[in-house]
Amino acid sequence: MNKTKVGDNTRLAHMGNNPRDFHGFVNPPVVHASTVLFPDAGTMASRNQKYTYGTRGTPTTDALAAAMNELEGAAGTIIVPSGLAAVTVPMLAFLSSGDHILIVDSVYHPTRHFADTMLTRLGVEVTYYDPAADKGIATLMQPNTKVVLTEAPGSGTFEMQDIPAIVDIAHRGGAIVMMDNTWATPLFFRPLDHGVDISIQAATKYPGGHSDVLLGTVSANEACFERLLDANGALGICAAPDDVYQVLRGLRTMGVRLERHQQSALALARWLEGQKGVARVLHPALESHPGHAIWKRDFTGSSGLFSIVLDGGGEKQAHAFLDTLKYFGLGYSWGGYESLAVHVQLNDRTIAKPPEEGPVIRLQVGLEDVEDLKADLAAALDATAKA
């Protein structure tokens, strides 16, 4: 099969395992393993067989890693137990005491927490940069800058970043670029094709898709994979086989789910732009978004997560909005089949100014019927106006 010519959904249906490897069963086995037996002492001494120990991979993890390699266009993928681990493991792999990292200020909050506590304690210098800086990161690059971390759109506020421009500056300064690409998934943006060295995915979100599994994947280019794999092995991090299987299962339908998430989120975002009580809608696929041109140039789609800025008010109004919602649950994470809402806290920002008009509410648009979600949001806006 010519993998570059077929459509995304065709690829999602056929990538990863080869059914012929397992007697024709469509799906790979879920291999629970620590010990792997060797046929004789010589083979054991040379470790000259495909699988050697449970922490070093199984047919189940290989199937998911192969699928992610194909989706990401990567040389290799490691699978870790959460999306957050998919951020921290590559940082530990590529940063040493005395090194410097540049991190976008609109980063996922737990990534900032890791940088401000553990990385700092290990002697890594951390600088946050404006998500709008793009080429401007040149002025922040130091001789010891080893990693530039990007995340686009930004967590909670959805700022876009000019990834190719950042890659160019970082590489010229001898740094590698990592990208947390959870929002777009490799279906809507392929970081490695744009020069990024390490692509991070919280597989908990769209790949899993059902709010019942935690997993992360880190995909690297040829130059970075060996070091990444080695660090992961050194740390002893591996994911549980049932979770790995669940994510491979989720990937098969990710394309059709994302189509629906995209469609419903865009419909609601456009409708919300015209609603009283909404100051702004933060969705990069909207023409009104400051990062729209970059999104249009580099991305091939948009997912189901965006924010609205309420027109005035504070916590009382934000809570009135959230407490009125019936189908949007109040909870963290996203990417599942059900809608969610959260009041975004932006007091961790050091450079990127949070919106000032009012509270920011992040919406995860699920697979429900869009008219029901619209009615839910309309009632919430009504209640907010009265609060």
Ligand X SMILES: *Cc1c(COP(=O)(O)O)cnc(C)c1O
Task: Name which of 79 and 320 has its Cβ closer to ligand X.
Answer: 79
Task: Name which of 192 and 202 has its Cβ closer to ligand X.
Answer: 202
Residue facing ligand X at closest CB distance: 83
- Residue 343 makes CB contacts below 8 A (sequence gap 6+) with 315, 318, 319, 322, 359, 360, 361
Task: Name which of 44 and 330 has its Cβ closer to ligand X.
Answer: 330
Q: CB 87 → ligand X: shortest distance, Å?
A: 6
Task: Name which of 224 and 247 has its Cβ closer to ligand X.
Answer: 247
Task: Name which of 204 and 219 has its Cβ closer to ligand X.
Answer: 204
d(CA 97, CA 118): 11
- Residue 74 makes CB contacts below 8 A (sequence gap 6+) with 68, 192, 199, 219, 220, 221, 225
Angle at 127 between CA 122 and CA 132, to 5 degrees: 150
d(CA 20, CA 253): 22
Q: CB 76 → ligand X: shortest distance, Å?
A: 20
Residues within the interface to ligand X (CB under 6 A): 82-84, 87, 108, 151, 155, 180, 182, 202, 204, 214, 216, 333
Q: CB 236 → ligand X: shortest distance, Å?
A: 18
Q: CB 205 → ligand X: shortest distance, Å?
A: 6
Q: CB 361 → ligand X: shortest distance, Å?
A: 16
d(CA 220, CA 174): 17
Task: Name which of 202 and 218 has its Cβ closer to ligand X.
Answer: 202
Exposed / middle / buried, residue 48 (Cβ in 10 Å: 0-12, 13-18, 19+):
exposed
Q: CB 289 → ligand X: shortest distance, Å?
A: 18
